[in-house]
């Protein structure tokens, strides 16, 4: 089924709402190519329509509205992010953090780090109990001490100052309208509250659980006047409305008086926050240039490591249905994650051997450990140049985060991943938005085997992230693909898998995203995505020594790709996401569900 929307915000939003109602369509037995059809473009549209792919159709419509008004990809990305705060508050918002990757038509890259920071008083014992041992996950992930200083508002302010075309207030308008006038509660939001949102407190408890027990019903029109007021203040006054004394004190008070695990965070911690421009991390895979975020994100480095360790194998010849191909992917993931866990953290606090980890000779040596016919019994981190010996910590998973991809008519592109970490973050709410629970992304135990862990808690430090907003250039240097994902530590593997799908197996971005996943971040073991086309390969993988288990995985990716002289969107069939362009085309995706009731990503 195809849908077209006419120029103008009201019509675009109506189409988006109709699409949202399709989110519970029958399950596809196999990933399928999205259906797209061109519509008559408005007279003012550029020759190549701009496009937005996002995890919720209302948010994608907000971005398209801004593109149609002459906004840049940066403007549209900001509008999309703000709208996600309204309609998908369980995953992202101004109370969290963002990594922002932007490229112009000539390939000039900018990457902005808006990762949250720990309060100044945070230290090695932040997540330790009275017995000196790490607190259990149920205590780590909720309450005041789980929250870091939010960075998303500083990120979008920096991006807009550099690359925005429309006035700052204009990019807030769609989100303010959604919050003020109301939006329809989706199945994903309702189920997310029911399964993972019962820790919310304050106004969030009153709004999301109106009778005190049951989550707001699917199909309800939900209005968020407090959030609308907050967004209007930021639109009117700029980022100082968020980081200035009044708002900073309200954030600090909410966290210091949280019902669970109150935090010693101060207003000064909030007001001192700054987003940082970072050097991008780039490398090549089969003549394609792949660029993403550097530390404190581990995403860019680890995606490149997985791909480069596979480059000596003929993945194209093996094909997507080969158990050997997926065994190779699993082994490369294990090697890359071993190094990620040991070496990558906030570069302001530790020496991260980026060049050593991506050195061709080092990756060739790591790749040589991979045997197509056998699984390694144990996998240890390597010793890249410039890396001292450190203690490796186990990976942690969390279900939150949202991603978006945008291209405008002038070929400016943005991939942004934005998050409050777990579902509804810390559960602490202030002024209409949820505050993140990012600090458990630090390693709770500060030392192992006599060595300090690089990702230990320290005051002012940014926790390591798996977020991997990525831009891919073709051999001629033109943007070919803009992609990112949500889903905790699976993000890296989702992006790497999709790139293999597009580059080696010549899949569309839509089919590459929809393809099943093997997730193997540690040794031994890992998971094959439950319900995917890869499950029948399990006996053959076991014959190669793999000990993978079939399990549900929370996956959610978005992408736009340049093919046939136009931008084509892709969105994850496991989510409510869509892609839509300024010419009126909306990508319709046959949805897939899992036992997590569509609430987990």
- Judge contact between 94 and 234, C-beta under 8 A: yes
Query: Tokens 């009117």 belong to which residue?
Result: 236
Which of 277, 226, 264 is CA-nearest to residue 95?
226
The tokens for 440 are 């458990």
* Residues catalogued as catalytic: 401
All residues at 6 or more sequence positions from 338 whose CB lies less than 8 Å from its CB, including other chains? 379, 380, 381, 382, 392, 522, 523
Interatomic CA distance for residues 294 and 71, integer angstroms: 27
All residues at 6 or more sequence positions from 172 whose CB lies less than 8 Å from its CB, including other chains? 79, 82, 231, 232, 234, 235
Taking each helix axis from N to C end, the angle separating 168-181 and 225-237, rounded to the nearest 10 degrees, works out to: 170
Query: Tokens 């890869």 belong to which residue?
Result: 534
Query: Tokens 């051997």 belong to which residue?
Result: 353
Query: Tokens 């050997």 belong to which residue?
Result: 324
Which of 138, 82, 121, 55 is CA-nearest to residue 400?
55
Query: Tokens 């020759």 belong to which residue?
Result: 47
Which of 593, 586, 591, 592 is CA-nearest to residue 35?
586
The tokens for 99 are 């990594």
Coil/strand/helix, residue 86: helix
The alpha-helical segments, DSSP class H, found in 371-522 are: 490-503, 509-514
Q: Strand 527-529 and strand 549-551: pairing?
A: parallel
The tokens for 34 are 């999205």
Segment (H or E) for 529: strand 527-529
- Judge contact between 147 and 199, C-beta under 8 A: no
Taking each helix axis from N to C end, the angle separating 9-20 and 57-68, rounded to the nearest 10 degrees, works out to: 160
- Judge contact between 468 and 484, C-beta under 8 A: yes
Interatomic CA distance for residues 577 and 596, integer angstroms: 17
- Judge contact between 362 and 318, C-beta under 8 A: no
For the chain, what is the radius of gyration of the CA atoms?
A: 22
Interatomic CA distance for residues 381 and 46, integer angstroms: 49
Query: Tokens 């390969």 belong to which residue?
Result: 537
- Judge contact between 417 and 479, C-beta under 8 A: no
Interatomic CA distance for residues 104 and 575, integer angstroms: 29
Peptide bond into 99 cis (omega under 30): no
């Amino acid at each position: 089924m195809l849908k077209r929307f006419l120029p103008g915000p009201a019509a675009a939003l109506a189409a988006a709402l109709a699409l949202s109602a399709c989110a519970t369509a029958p399950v596809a037995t196999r990933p399928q190519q999205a259906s797209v059809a061109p519509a008559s473009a408005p007279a003012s549209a550029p020759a190549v329509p701009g496009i937005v792919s996002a995890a919720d159709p209302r948010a994608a419509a907000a971005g398209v509205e801004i593109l149609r008004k002459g906004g840049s990809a940066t403007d549209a990305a900001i509008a999309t992010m703000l709208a996600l705060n309204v309609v998908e508050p369980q995953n992202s918002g101004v109370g969290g953090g963002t990594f922002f990757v932007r490229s112009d038509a000539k390939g000039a890259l900018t990457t902005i780090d808006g990762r949250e920071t720990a309060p100044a008083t945070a230290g090695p014992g932040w997540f330790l109990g009275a017995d000196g041992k790490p607190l259990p996950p149920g205590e780590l992930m909720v309450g005041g001490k789980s929250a870091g200083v939010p960075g998303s508002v500083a990120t979008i302010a920096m991006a807009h100052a550099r690359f925005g075309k429309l006035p700052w207030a204009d990019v807030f308008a769609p989100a303010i309208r959604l919050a003020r006038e109301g939006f329809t509660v989706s199945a994903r939001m309702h189920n997310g509250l029911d399964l993972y949102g019962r820790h919310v407190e304050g106004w969030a408890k009153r709004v999301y659980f109106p009778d005190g027990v049951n989550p707001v019903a699917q199909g309800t029109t939900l209005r968020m006047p407090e959030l609308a007021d907050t967004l209007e203040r930021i639109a009117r006054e700029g980022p100082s409305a968020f980081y200035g004394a009044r708002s900073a004190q309200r954030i600090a008070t909410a966290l210091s008086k949280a019902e669970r695990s109150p935090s010693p965070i101060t207003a000064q911690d909030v007001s001192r926050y700054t987003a940082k421009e970072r050097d991008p991390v780039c490398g090549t895979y089969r003549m394609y240039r792949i660029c993403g975020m550097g530390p404190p994100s581990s995403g860019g480095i680890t995606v490149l490591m997985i791909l480069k360790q596979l480059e000596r194998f003929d993945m194209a010849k093996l094909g997507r249905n080969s158990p050997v191909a997926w065994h190779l992917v699993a082994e490369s993931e294990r090697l890359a994650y071993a190094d990620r866990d040991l070496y990558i953290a906030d570069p302001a606090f530790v020496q991260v051997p980026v060049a050593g980890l991506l050195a061709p000779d080092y990756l060739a040596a790591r790749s040589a450990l991979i045997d197509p016919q056998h699984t390694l019994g144990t996998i240890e981190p390597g010793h890249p140049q410039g890396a001292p010996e450190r203690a490796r910590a186990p990976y942690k998973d969390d279900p939150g985060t949202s991603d978006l991809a945008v291209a405008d008519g002038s070929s400016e592109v943005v991939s942004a991943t934005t998050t409050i970490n777990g579902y509804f973050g810390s559960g602490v709410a202030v002024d209409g938005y949820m505050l993140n629970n990012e600090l458990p992304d630090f390693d709770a135990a500060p030392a192992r085997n006599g060595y300090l862990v690089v990702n230990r808690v320290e005051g002012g430090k940014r926790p390591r992230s798996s977020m991997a907003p990525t831009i891919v250039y073709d051999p001629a240097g033109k943007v070919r693909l803009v992609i990112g994902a949500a889903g905790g530590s699976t993000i890296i593997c989702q992006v790497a898998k999709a790139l293999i799908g597009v580059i080696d197996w010549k899949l569309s971005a839509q089919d590459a995203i929809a393809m099943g996943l093997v997730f193997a971040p540690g040794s031994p073991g890992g998971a094959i995505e439950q319900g995917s086309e890869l499950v029948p390969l399990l006996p053959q993988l076991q014959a190669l020594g793999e000990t993978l288990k079939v399990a549900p995985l929370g996956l959610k990716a978005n992408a736009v790709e340049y093919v046939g002289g136009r931008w084509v969107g892709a969105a994850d069939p496991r989510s409510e996401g869509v892609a839509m362009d300024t010419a009126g085309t909306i990508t319709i995706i046959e949805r897939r569900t899992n036992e997590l009731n569509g609430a987990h990503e």
